[in-house]
A and B are shown apart, each in its own frame.
Chain A
Amino acid sequence: AQTVTQSQPEMSVQEAETVTLSCTYDTSESDYYLFWYKQPPSRQMILVIRQEAYKQQNATENRFSVNFQKAAKSFSLKISDSQLGDAAMYFCAYRAVFGNEKLTFGTGTRLTIIP
């Protein structure tokens, strides 16, 4: 079975600084998707960034980028120029390409932005 591990329950960063959230996963599949979702206090889960496992290039969305290491099964999220609005729970998630299309989530990292 696939598992997703987020080893940092809480992180904090000064406004305008850079922070990296860690995620590791375990799977026997060769083709899959990885996601970072953000859940602010409003509780609405929002997709931050997506990575296809077959792509070697790391995904980037504005201030958000990932470091995808397929061999190490690692998928970290880097947030540059942190803003107050980035404060949220961040969840790493895995989905296989074929077969069951459910998302498997990590336990989350609560990110605090210090003004």
Chain B
Amino acid sequence: DVKVTQSSRYLVKRTGEKVFLECVQDMDHENMFWYRQDPGLGLRLIYFSYDVKMKEKGDIPEGYSVSREKKERFSLILESASTNQTSMYLCASSLGPGQGGTEAFFGQGTRLTVV
């Protein structure tokens, strides 16, 4: 089974802190994603990576950056956390265009609270 693991289920940080959310997948997937989930808004894409060191902005990248130094790991960085970044963050991975497959596999989510 594909496993996507997020480093924390719950996180509480202070305004202005630099926050790292880590995600690791164990199935050699080329694509990795960070989504933000808010009630009534569904899941919105923050950033997408299709290869090591490659990234694309999603729909709501402001206030976030990402890092993908190794294929299996995709990190979301909040440079200076703000209260409006309090949310559920979901990491996902999927096979790339040359690998076949269509679905994305998700981690268990990190509920981040910024106080």
Contacts and interface: CB of A to CB of B under 8 A. Distances in A.
**Chain A contact surface mostly:** loop
A91 B43 contact: yes
A44 B108 CA distance: 5
A102 B43 CA distance: 11
Contact of A45 (B50, B56, B90): B90
A16 interface: no
B74 interface: no
A74 B94 CA distance: 25
A7 B97 CA distance: 32
Interface string A90-111: 0100010010111111111000
Contact size class for B?
A: 20 to 34
Interface stretch (B19-27, B60-68, B98-106): B98-106
A107 B50 CA distance: 25
B40 A101 contact: no
Contact of A107 (B41, B90, B96): B41
B42 A105 contact: yes
Given A50-B103, A101-B50, A106 B33 contact: no
B31 A101 contact: yes
B102 A43 contact: no
Contact of B106 (A6, A44, A100, A108): A44
A105 B56 CA distance: 18
Contact of B108 (A43, A47, A50, A103): A43
A107 B58 CA distance: 17
A102 B33 contact: yes
A33 interface: yes
Interface of A: 4, 6, 9, 33, 35, 37, 42-45, 47, 50, 52, 91, 95, 98, 100-108
